[in-house]
Structure formats: C-alpha cells, structure tokens
Amino acid sequence: MATAQTLRQKERRRHLWIYAGLTPFVFIAVFPIYWMLITAFKQDPDLYRMDNIPFWFNLAPTLRHFKILFFQTNYGAWIVNTMTIAAWVALITLVTAVPAGYALARLRLPAAENIGISVFMTYLVPPIILFLPLSRVVAMLGLQDEWWALVVVYPTFTIPFGTWLLMGFFKTVPMEMEEAARVDGCGYLGAFLRVVLPVSVPGVLTAVIFAFTLSMQDFLYGLAFVAPGDQKPVPVGVPTELIRGDVLGLADGGRAPRGLAGRGALQLLPRPLHPGHHRRRGEIERAGESIASRRLELSVRQSASGFTTGSGRPG
C-alpha cells in the first residue's frame, strides 16, 4: 500500500514538473494572440488611455475596426485572391509532384537519387535570384498585374520540395505490395493508384498543406508582379495598401501616447487597424512633399551662400 502511494506521489511530482516547465512556453506562445484579440475589439479611447488596465476591456467591445477593414478596404478581395492562388498552386503541385516523386522513388531510372537531390537543391535557390527570369516569363505570358502571374510563379518553389518530400514517402511503401498488385493483373499505373497512393495519403496531404501555406505567405513575388489594389493577395495588400507609415500623435495635450501598443498588436492581425492608419493618402503625400521641398530649399540656400563666400575671397 505504501509503495503504491509512493508511486502515485512520484507520478504527481513528475507531472507537476512537466507542467511547470511547459507553462512559460505556453504563456509566451498564447499571450501575443490574446493581446491581439482583445486589442482588435477595443474601442479607440480604451487604446488611448494609459491609466486603464490594458489586459482586459475597460469599455464595451466594438466591431468598428472590422467594419473599417471589410467595408472601406479591399481586404475581402485580397482574401479571395489569396485562397484562389493557394488552391491553384496546391493543385498544380499535387498533379506534378506526385508522379515525379513516384518515378524517382520506384522506377529504375539512371541517377534517380542524384536527380532527386538536384530537384530539392533548386528549392534552396533564393527567390531574389529567380526574380528577373520569372518576370520575363510573366511578361511573355501577358500576366502582368494579375494574380494569375503568382499561380505561374509559385510552383517554381513548391514543386521541387513537394517532389522531394513525396519521393521519401513513396520509398517507405514496401515493394512487395506493388509486386502483389502486379501479380493480380495491375500495371504500374494501377498499382500506383490502388495500392501506393492510398497508403501515401499522409505524405500527399503534407505536400498539399506545404504548397498551400507557402503560397499564402509569400511577399516578394506578389509585390513584384501584382500592382492593382484589387488583384493583390493579403501578404502584399496589408503592408502596401493599409500601412501609410506611423505618424506619431499625442492626445490629451501631449500627455498620453496615442495607442502605440494597440497599433503594434493590430499589425499582427488581418488588419483591424487603428484609425490613424486610415488617414487619407493625399494628406500624407502632401506632408512628405512639403518636407522634401523645405529640405531642398535649405540645401540650395546653403550651396548658394557657400558659392558666394568662396567667390568673394581674394585670389
């Protein structure tokens, strides 16, 4: 009886130490999401006031930020574009990488292993190196400033990794299963469709998820090949259309910062934005032009004064 109690106490201590060690990591992972969510639903005065408790709602929650997001911006179109692009890229990757991976894993091709490694190495090429040749391809296809250009470009890095990944999955399928299927009258295609592919569903799903998520997260190609506001995906539309720089302002006569923490947290969201980010583009551009003109005028005056001083010196 004492031994059983001792074992239970040891087990409880073990679980206690495990949970104690996991708690900091869980807090670090969950707290930004919690802060992001409560900030998205806070009213503007709740974000401004520094004397309020920031970890909960001091005023009633509001949906005003989401109304601004979906009714005053192109965010809805960006979501549709992003999902459509990712779906097409996942489909193209699946149709291309599955037969390629199976051929490299099963068929007796010369240097099949080296070919598989070479295919994977193309995935490691930095996207900035492929930018110029791919822009030429997009121009030849007449897809400039359309999201279809991204459907053409993204498979260049999803297909190599998907092929290498599926090649490893297909190698784990026992060869005896295919041989038994061929003995029963199936050819290579029948054995692949009826035996190998159903067993390799986890690998196929992994490749599809990888292609889908990577297409949703890319920024460089989307910024380079898509310019119209209604054609952009979310990773490009948010920083280029919604963020106009952070013009810092002070409320309460200069005593309270204007919701800087709320702005930083909201930038992590699919953009419930602080209204400061919705300032008209013309006002910001005029302010920038005014500052630039003043700097140019000052530099011209300094140059003129320096030239006058220099010319007035005796030879």
Q: Residue 188 — pLDDT band, cuts 50, 70, 90?
A: confident
pTM for the predicted model, two decimal places:
0.66
Eight-state DSSP code of residue 195: I
Among 114-123, 190-199, 238-247, 298-307, the range of highest mean pLDDT = 190-199
245 has pLDDT over 70: no
Q: Summarize the confidence of residues 224-230 as an average pLDDT.
A: 85
Strand extents, DSSP E, the chain: 250-251, 256-257
In tens, the pLDDT along 267-282 reads 444 433 433 344 334 4
In tens, the pLDDT along 48-85 reads 777 777 888 888 888 888 888 888 888 888 899 999 99
What residue type is assigned to position 293 of the chain? S
218 has pLDDT over 60: yes
- What is d(CA 234, CA 242) in angstroms, rounded to the nearest whole number? 11
240: left (phi over 0), alpha (psi -120 to 50) or beta: alpha
Long-range residue pairs from 33-37, CB within 8 A, at least 24 positions apart, any chain = 35/265, 36/265, 36/266, 36/268, 36/269
CB 172 within 8 A of CB 180: no
Element (H, E) at 131: helix 127-141
254 has pLDDT over 70: no
- What is d(CA 170, CA 245) in angstroms, rounded to the nearest whole number? 49
pLDDT of residue 305: 53
Which candidate, 171, 191, 168, 169, places its Cα nearest to that of 180?
191
- Which burial class, exposed, middle or buried, applies to 304 when counting CB atoms under 10 A from its CB (0-12, 13-18, 19+)? exposed
